[in-house]
Amino acid sequence: MNGAPYERVKLARDSARPTGLDYIRKIFKGFIEMHGDRRYADDPAIVGGIAWLGERPVTVIAIEKGHMAKDRAYRNFGAPHPEGYRKALRLMKQAEKFGRPVICFVDTSGAYCGIGAEERGQGQAIAENLVEMSTLCVPIISVLIGEGGSGGALALAVADSVWMLENSVYSVISPEGCASILWKDSTKAETAAASLKLTAEDAKSLGVIERILSENDIGKKEFYDRIRNMLDDEIKELSLETDLLSKRYGRFRRIGITADSKEQL
Amino acid sequence: MALINFLKPKNQLEEGGRTAAPVQQDEGEPEKNCPNCHKDIPLSRLWANDLVCSCGYHFRMKARQRIKMIADRDSFNEMFREIRSGNPLGFPGYADKLETVAAASGEEEAVICGTADVGGQSCCLFVMESYFMMGSMGSAVGERITRLFEYATEHRLPVIGFTVSGGARMQEGLLSLMQMAKTSAAVKRHSDAGLLYIAVLTDPTTGGVTASFAMEADIILAEPGATVGFAGARVIEQTTRKTLPKEFQKAEFVLKHGFVDGIVARAGQKKLLCDLLKMHSRSVML
């Protein structure tokens, strides 16, 4: 922890880190995967379904990067297409219908940049998730476990409570992309990473996330047990909330600092 | 070739039933070269024709000129002007950039918001400004748009928005990203109140603005030839190592794939917006 921001970016991208499916398998019991967006296809970059969190059925959605080369390619390196976001929204709406909380695990360099993705409305798919999640009538918790790449990550993170692993990052653009656009020099990624304020501590001080999760025992049984307990506690608390949607609105409504804001960093 | 075909008004609605007034051309008057038909057009003719070439090519238009074109005379009442960008992350070069851009564009932010009458009907209007950091969305743009939708919800007014944006503003990092969620939530409340939102996508509408309020309207229109997409074409070429077709991410492409309701040339925009407002006004609903 507390390495230079660009080192944290590299850690967040490390293919040895646990991926979405690791969290699903080790935190929940009896996961049943549900496929497809019912409109075009099933996107292997997003895995979703129903599982038990202790005694409670929950809808779990995770962006999956894969570990080995073949699997990573199959998962499109965790870069979802519009159908992935639409599958996620379908499962969230289903969760709402049956009163199940939604838990998302986010790990993506960004929504996929490709011809098919544009043809099928990548921007529209993300926008629809932002709109619909803002009023989904069940508790939503999102955990950033690796890369939180821009709109592609936010499309699963309009939640009541957003957590980040201590070495995950959350950013509006990759440091390389930022350096190449602003300074026409992708080797200035280190400077960009520092300027973008993309670490978990930065996100917390900007009011963008609620909690930072320690990685001391990452991948061990205690690590997953701890997250399971935290999710359980948080869901219990959110389920008692009578004003869930106003609070969710307020949570995002507050974010932003302008020249006339009283608070400056 | 294909470009020229779809840029020409196809019907009276697109044409707006309006012909350009004959303009006296002074000798030695400055001209602008049209990137589509490559002809030189005298500036006075271009201005008289809402910055549209006779071949149908739409030049970029400043936000205030657009407001003049859409709002009834003297009806626009600007709001939230006091909300301006700071440099919340201390991003290198951003403070200077804001100053330079403000001086060059004469604007203080990348969106202008307010109330207006369009064909005698009240609405909230926002117009993004390409000359201010390519309409990028930081905290101030997000706050202005959010407040406008909240105002419109409270006063039960429809919203008309003209988008032009390179996306979220990098220099405000995560704060910019969060504006996508913030504005979307405000659009949803407006929508849930049964109110109308019409977006007109102009060149270019991309990134985080496409992935939020640009694509969230009840009715989405686009200007001919406008680039509309999520990822930038250059990024897609680098990612896929494929050459993109010429019409890729153009308004016609987006229409073909089902993501906008129609393409409307500038000359027809005001009339169409008036008609749409009228069809949604409470007085015609029984």
What digits encode the pLDDT tens for the residues A158-200? 999 999 999 999 999 999 999 999 998 878 999 999 999 999 9
Average pLDDT over residues A44-72: 97
From B197, B259, B274, B189, select the one nearest B228 (Cα to Cα).
B259
Mean pLDDT over the full length of chain A: 95
- Chain A: residue whose CA lies nearest to B213: A127
Q: Tell me which architecture the domain covering B60-284 has in CATH.
A: Alpha-Beta Complex (3.90)
* Separation of alpha carbons A154 and A23, rounded Å: 19
Q: Write out chain A residues lying below 8 Å of B208, CB-based.
A: 150-151, 172
B239 touches A at CB < 8 Å: yes
CATH topology of domain A5-250: 2-enoyl-CoA Hydratase; Chain A, domain 1 (3.90.226)
> A206 and B85: CB-CB below 8 Å?
no
The mean pLDDT of A68-91, rounded to a whole number, is: 97
List all residues of chain B from 78 to 137 with a beta carbon under 8 Å from chain A.
Answer: 82-86, 88-93
Mean pLDDT of the B41-57 span: 93
| Domain ranges across chain B | 60-284
User: What value, to the nearest 5°, has the Cα angle with vertex B101 and ends B95 and B105?
Assistant: 155
Structure tokens at B246: 């010429």
Q: Are the beta carbons of A83 and A37 closer than 8 angstroms?
A: yes
Using only C-alpha atoms, chain B has a radius of gyration, in whole angstroms, of 19
Q: Which of B74, B64, B82, B200 shows the shortest CA–CA distance to B147?
A: B82
State whether B86 and A182 contact (CB < 8 Å).
no
- Structural element, H or E, at residue B206: none
In the three-class reduction of DSSP (H, G, I as helix; E, B as strand; rest coil), residue A228 is classed as helix
Q: What is the mean pLDDT of residues A135-154?
A: 98
CA distances (Å), B7 to each of A10, B14, B16, B195, in order? 47, 10, 14, 31
Task: Say whether B140 and A122 touch across the interface (CB within 8 A).
Answer: no
**Which candidate from A150, A195, A258 shows the least CB-CB separation from B89?**
A195
Taking the C-alpha atoms of residue A182 and residue B93, their distance in angstroms, rounded to an integer, is: 10
pTM exceeding the 0.90 threshold for the entire prediction: yes
Question: In this model, does residue B3 exceed pLDDT 60?
Answer: no
Digit-coded pLDDT (tens) for B226-250: 999 999 888 898 888 888 988 999 9
Domain boundaries, chain A: 5-250
Query: Which has the higher per-residue pLDDT, A264 or A71?
Result: A71
A/B interface, count of CB pairs below 8 Å: 200
Is the Cβ pair A182, B215 closer than 8 Å?
no
Q: Which residue has the tokens 């969710």?
A: A248
Task: Check A197 against B189: CB less than 8 A apart.
Answer: no
Question: Is the Cβ–Cβ distance between A197 and A172 less than 8 Å?
Answer: no
Residues in chain A with CB shorter than 8 Å from the CB of B179 are: 255-256
Lowest mean pLDDT among A32-46, B18-32, B107-121, B127-141: B18-32
Closest residue of chain B to A199, computed from CA coordinates: B174
CA distance A114 to chain B (A): 5
Q: Do A85 and A35 form a contact (C-beta atoms < 8 A)? A: no
- CB distance B178–A256 less than 8 Å? yes
Q: Do B173 and A257 touch (CB under 8 A)?
A: no
**Reported ipTM exceeds the 0.85 cut:** yes
Q: Is B180 close to A154, i.e. CB distance below 8 A?
A: yes
Q: Would you call A151 and B180 a contact, using CB atoms and an 8 Å cutoff?
A: yes
The answer for A 172-231 residues in CB contact with B (under 8 A) is 172-173, 177-178, 181-182, 191, 195-198, 202-203, 206, 208
Whether A135 and B192 lie within 8 Å, measured CB to CB? yes
**Whole-number pLDDT of residue B100:** 96
Are B127 and B111 in contact by the 8 Å Cβ rule? The answer is: yes
pLDDT at A158: 98
- Tokens 């407040």 found at: B147
At B285 the pLDDT is 59
| Mean pLDDT confidence for B19-42 | 77
